[in-house]
Structure 1
Amino acid sequence: MTLPDEKLPLRLSARVVLLDDADRLLLFSARNQTDGSLRWFTVGGGLGPGETHEQAALRELREETGLADVDLGPEVWRGRPWTTTRDGITYEVRQRYYLARVPSFTVDTSAFEEVERAAITGHRWWTAEELATTTDLLRPAGLPSLLGALIADGSPARPITVAG
């Protein structure tokens, strides 16, 4: 149990808002074991020892999609800190989201780590319109409007704070 004044260990994370040439966003899914709901989220994961956010974002792209040599764009969103428990340890998660635009391609998940193979149930490319009509849980929260603004207005001058 963590007391209110205790500092939680940090889990720094880099995520990628990966858009193809048709402005579709790649998301991965995981099923909630408690209620069966489906949650969709961007490419990405935790920083490894000594990695920068940008290095982690590029590594995660290789591992989760098979893409290498991607020109990583600017940080567009910064996640409001939240907590998660892994292996009995509660962490404070801090995420940075980077934009990357790529030609349409077939996703290759063969380099998934064991934890990803166990948790991720699928992936798909989404349009902003499809995101706006789904009843599944999307991360970050407000993803349809965030994506719509990103496509319409381009990258913000400074990262926008998002939930999740």
Structure 2
Amino acid sequence: MPRYARRSARVLLIDSEDRVLLLRSALLPGPGHVWLTPGGGVKWWERLRPAAARELREEVGLAVRPRDLRPVAFTTGHADLTFARGLFRDDFFVYRVDRHEVDTSGHTELERKHYAGFRWWSAAELAATDETVYPFRLAGLLADLVVGASPAELVELPWHHFG
């Protein structure tokens, strides 16, 4: 298995209207903002599902059992960010809710500094937007997931960081 400079566990939180929750962030270097799924770095002692559940609770205030998160996709590639450099991997899990009121009170200091709101997106809205959304090709994956097309294997999405 490759040695990663950073592992992330992220969640595709999908509501009863078949929309995915994305957070607006100015965390990455450069102008403007990006939209990304809830999630973040896996601590050295954590497994992926518990890390994804922890991140979901911290970032949007939703407590879930790790075993209820279903792995669906990943991205991998090299990046040079201010806090890490080298080979990165993001693993994506899916979780369905009827609805959820986002609670950001669990944000870290860094998240509070860079958090700029949230939005529930449909697959059609994602496909039509000119805004930057990570992971790339999320619209197609979301369209498949909401109609029950569950991938037999993890879907590899294109790497999205610069560096």
The amino acid across from 2:120 in the alignment is: W
Q: Is the 8 A contact 1:40 1:138 kept in 2?
A: yes
Change (3 A) 1:147 1:83: same
Superposition CA RMSD, Å: 2.0
2:97 corresponds to 1:102: yes
Q: Is the 8 A contact 2:4 2:89 kept in 1?
A: no
Instruction: Could you tell me which runs of 5 or more consecutive residues in structure 2 were left unpaired when the two chains were aligned.
Output: none
Q: Per-residue displacement from partner, 1:115-162 (whole Å, max 9, x unpaired)?
A: 111122111111111111211011111111121122224321110101
| 2:120 alignment partner, SS class | strand
Residue matched to 1:16: 11
Q: Is the 8 A contact 2:13 2:20 kept in 1?
A: yes
2:84 corresponds to 1:76: no
The amino acid across from 2:79 in the alignment is: T
Name the count of aligned residue pairs: 156
Matches for 1:15-164 after TM superposition, within 5 Å: 15-31=10-26, 34-36=30-32, 38-70=33-65, 72-87=68-83, 89-164=84-159
4+ residue segments displaced more than 4 Å: none
Q: TM-score scaled by structure 1?
A: 0.86
Larger Rg: 1
Q: TM-score scaled by structure 2?
A: 0.86
Change (3 A) 1:10 1:65: same
